[in-house]
Chain A
Amino acid sequence: MNIIYFLIGCSVLLALGFLGAFFWAQGNGQNDDLYTPSMRMLIEDEEEPEKDQPNA
């Protein structure tokens, strides 16, 4: 049953990893604006006809 010590160590490390990831995202400003990206993704990508023409 001593394996439990090792497993708990692993699980805590994993959880610490997630906590670190959250702090990184927070410091990176990823949670600052949670609304605009939802609109941005609905805007279609630009098609650029002038560039395509020489290839055609």
Chain B
Amino acid sequence: MIKSPTLDKTTCYHCGDDCTTIEYIVEDKHFCCHGCKSVYEVLSADGLCNYYSYNEHPGVTRKQTNKRFDYLSDPTIASELIDYQDTRISIVTFYIPHIHCSSCLWLLEKLNKINPAIQYCRVDFLKKQLNIRYDHENLNLQQLVELLDNIGYEPLISLQDVIKKQNTTDKDSLVPKIAVAGFCFGNVMLLSFPEYFGLSAFEQTFKHFFGWINILFSLPIVFYSGIGYFTSAWQNLKNRVLNIDFPLALGIAVLFGRTVTEVVTHSGAGFADTLCGLVFFLLIGKFVQRKTYHHISFERDYRSFFPVAVHIIDNGVEKPVPLARLNIGDRIIIRNGEIIPADAILLNGHALVDFSFVTGESTPVNKTLGEIIYAGGRQTGEAIELEVIKPVSQSYLTQLWNNEAFTRTQDKRMQTFNEKVSKYFTIVLLSIAFASLIFWLPINATRGLAAFTAVLIVACPCALALSTPFTMSAALSIFDRNRFYLKNTNVVEQLAAVDTIVMDKTGTITNGSVDNIKLEANLTDRQKQMIYSVCSNSNHPLSRIICRFLGSMKQLKVSDYWEMAGKGMTARIDNELLFIGSAQLVLGCSEDIATNTKVHLTINDKYLGYFSFALSYRDGLSNISDLSAYYDLMLLSGDQDHEKKDLGRFFKRPGSLHFNQSPQSKLDFIQALQSNGSKVLMIGDGLNDSGALKQSDLGIAITDNVNNFSPGSDAILDGKSFDKLPAFLRFAKNTVAIIHFSFFISLTYNLVGLSYAVTGNLSPLIAAILMPVSTVTIISFTSIATHFAAKRRKLI
């Protein structure tokens, strides 16, 4: 067990949090809460305490343990979650965000020891998934999830899981294509070597034999591995677009055609080696480009934020109902920590709703009976009863997703450098090819044809097609190392092209939680103990922060406890009367809203002072404000403008601060900027920003825990790396410069090859050497240059 230096502060054996009470001790191991203690007890009963020996504090805090999984007994929900089911067994896959260390792996693959009905469990560590096969006669889905929850591994089951199952993507066939291409390439190279070294006259029969086998190996290359280039080129031609696939497909076709003619007419050895190498390297490039970090989802929307089911009261009986079947007029019950799934009217209970994710307001909002509560808020405190007034799909929050920004295909937002260049490249290539054909045709028809095909072969933009994927994937892994996760390689180019940066406030430039607490009073130990005892009765977030701040103490007996939701509380300890709360409650006057949130204290009508809570800005915000020399920097906040003065230090340009923005007006604001020709980078964190994130040219979601919910975006930035944003932007610009330079290298190779080709004297050997050499040059140049650029920006 780890003990911190001070005697009264201990850390929880299970999760490593500070223990604020000394209530939970088992076998001299301290726990911070009942939840953590009970996990330990479950594990020790089954002899699984090795869990704690692989890593210190492997668990997650279990302070909130009121989760209910009875909706899983609903057969329609269960059947949508289960992957496979027969008469005896079921197989299910869960996403468990807490999987993070070898202890997790060890424990989750030993579930069989806790319940023998579980037959098989396998963890996929990077995807944080657990695949379970179990005997559903002895264990149902609800019990299985409760078991996982009991040992601290609550699966994340959201509405999106249920929908995701229905449109699973088809398996991509790139890997088998590469395997076939590699197989053919290797064999063709082997069979081409005799030709390179020269065959003597009496070995000519071998030459034909090798030629025919080469054709045989080229068939799968052209008609299986390379077929994607033909279909893509054809599609683009139909849409009147010239992209890089057109010259590639042309090159492949010409290589194959010439190889077959040369072998059949015994006029040469053909270009089978070049053809196979070309397709193989191109596919590798495609594979590298497609490498994504699939353990992070970029396609999240409100559905992954909402629960699968909600509890309704039907004739006085409480029962779970899937969200899709929730009707107008249903009475729903929302407990502490649960999310309100649809716009509803408050009927019963004290509603203290945390809308931080929807509106950007950081402190929970107090609602009175009869008031409309919009979907997406999280109730804190006691259970409340609500009546649904709008179906889930038409709620205030979900309506944002009906905006056209969410329906258009979004990958074609900015033309990449490659797309721009390949258009001109193709035109120039074709004109050179036809020019040499016309030049030679009157003199020598066969030579003209040879020159024409040779130009198409040698200028085939293999190196050009590879320069972007290799540079981008090198850049992507540099970003990944710095906890900046990009959705795909195109995002790097977009990052380099932006000229306007728009930021959200709460959660984006401020830290997610309100925990910068200061005590502005001189209190005796006894007074601290009294305040601790009173605050520990309250579920209000501020009370919890105060408890954590004061550390673990012995609780005193509290009587006459009375809490006024959102205002504060009064209580009596040994005939001393305490008031803890807002200025209105404690001092009887309202407070100037421009200052920080404060919690005031009086004991026996004597004013002692206050706790102040400051929203702290993220580290490196001043770095970001230095960017205003190169970028238009703006702030869009859903909050009131009481921080305007503070923020003016960072956003100096007049008119760059915008407050009181609704999700829709954020989206409109971005759209207005774009119609003025700006390329907009939006940085946000909540559901309220998701419209703007989607509309912008590049949306970055910022989060303090990449496994938690973050809205759909092009990139996800870990809050710890926020200060590196200027370096990221500069590095993205370097990356694009590297692509430009490697483009010139590949052009040089093309020119050398062309000088041979236009004469019509291209030997297969030169083509076979030129192609791999240019490829290797490009790959090594891009990776080395990217490495140096990253070093210069101090990203590695």
Contacts and interface: CB of A to CB of B under 8 A. Distances in A.
Interface stretch (B178-186, B274-282, B609-617, B780-788): B178-186
B176 interface: yes
A33 to B, nearest CB: 5
Contact of A22 (B102, B105, B179, B213): B179
Interface in B403-419: none
B125 A35 contact: yes
Contacts of B179: 19, 22-23, 26
B106 to A, nearest CB: 5
Contact of B187 (A4, A5, A12, A22): A12
Contacts of A11: 187, 190
A40 interface: yes
B726 to A, nearest CB: 32
A17 B579 CA distance: 81
A43 interface: yes
Interface residues of B, number: 24
B176 A23 contact: yes
B175 A15 contact: no
B84 interface: no
Nearest to B99: A36
A39 interface: yes
Contacts, number: 48
Contact of A39 (B102, B122, B186, B209): B102
Contact of A43 (B102, B122, B203): B102
Nearest to A33: B124
A56 interface: no
Nearest to A44: B50
Contact of A26 (B54, B123, B124, B175): B175
Interface string B358-395: 00000000000000000000000000000000000000
Contacts of B127: 33
Given A33-B124, A36-B124, A36-B126, A8 B213 contact: yes
Interface in A13-35: 15-16, 18-19, 22-23, 26, 31-33, 35
A8 B210 CA distance: 10
B191 A33 contact: no
Question: What does DSSP make chain B's interface, helix, strand, loop or mixed?
Answer: helix
Contacts of A19: 179-180, 183
B126 A42 contact: no
Given A4-B206, A26-B175, A39 B126 contact: no
Contacts of A22: 179
B126 A35 contact: yes
Interface in B164-221: 175-176, 179-180, 183, 186-187, 190-191, 203, 206, 209, 213
Contacts of A42: 102
Nearest to B182: A19
A5 B102 contact: no
A5 B183 contact: no
A31 B179 CA distance: 13
Contacts of A15: 183, 186-187
Contacts of A32: 124
Contacts of B190: 11
Contacts of A26: 175-176, 179
A9 B213 CA distance: 10
Nearest to B102: A39
Contact of B105 (A8, A12, A16, A36): A36
A5 B124 contact: no
Contact of B126 (A4, A16, A33, A43): A33
Contacts of A12: 187, 213
A25 B782 CA distance: 32
Contact of B123 (A5, A8, A23, A36): A36
Contact of A36 (B125, B175, B213): B125
Nearest to B216: A12
Nearest to A40: B105
A5 B206 CA distance: 9
Nearest to A35: B126
A42 B103 CA distance: 11
B172 to A, nearest CB: 12
A28 B183 CA distance: 20
A15 to B, nearest CB: 6
Nearest to A9: B213
Contact of B54 (A8, A35, A43): A43
A32 B131 CA distance: 13
Nearest to B190: A11
Contacts of B180: 19
Contacts of A33: 124-127
Contacts of A4: 206
A31 B191 CA distance: 31
Interface string B262-292: 0000000000000000000000000000000
Contacts of B191: 8
Interface in B208-241: 209, 213
A43 B106 contact: yes
A1 B205 CA distance: 11
Contacts of B102: 39, 42-43
B176 A43 contact: no
A3 B109 CA distance: 55
A54 B122 CA distance: 32
Contacts of A39: 102, 105, 125
A42 B102 CA distance: 9
A50 to B, nearest CB: 9
B45 to A, nearest CB: 14
Contacts of A16: 183
Contacts of B105: 36, 39-40, 43
18 contacts: A4-B206, A8-B191, A8-B213, A11-B190, A12-B213, A15-B186, A16-B183, A19-B179, A23-B176, A26-B176, A33-B124, A35-B125, A36-B105, A36-B123, A36-B126, A39-B102, A39-B125, A42-B102
List the 5 shortest-distance A-B pairs measured between CB atoms, nearest first: A36-B125, A19-B183, A33-B124, A35-B126, A43-B106
Given A12-B213, A22-B179, A33-B127, 15 more contacts: A1-B203, A8-B213, A11-B187, A11-B190, A15-B187, A23-B176, A23-B179, A26-B179, A31-B175, A32-B124, A33-B125, A33-B126, A39-B125, A40-B109, A43-B105
Interface of B: 54, 102, 105-106, 109, 122-127, 175-176, 179-180, 183, 186-187, 190-191, 203, 206, 209, 213
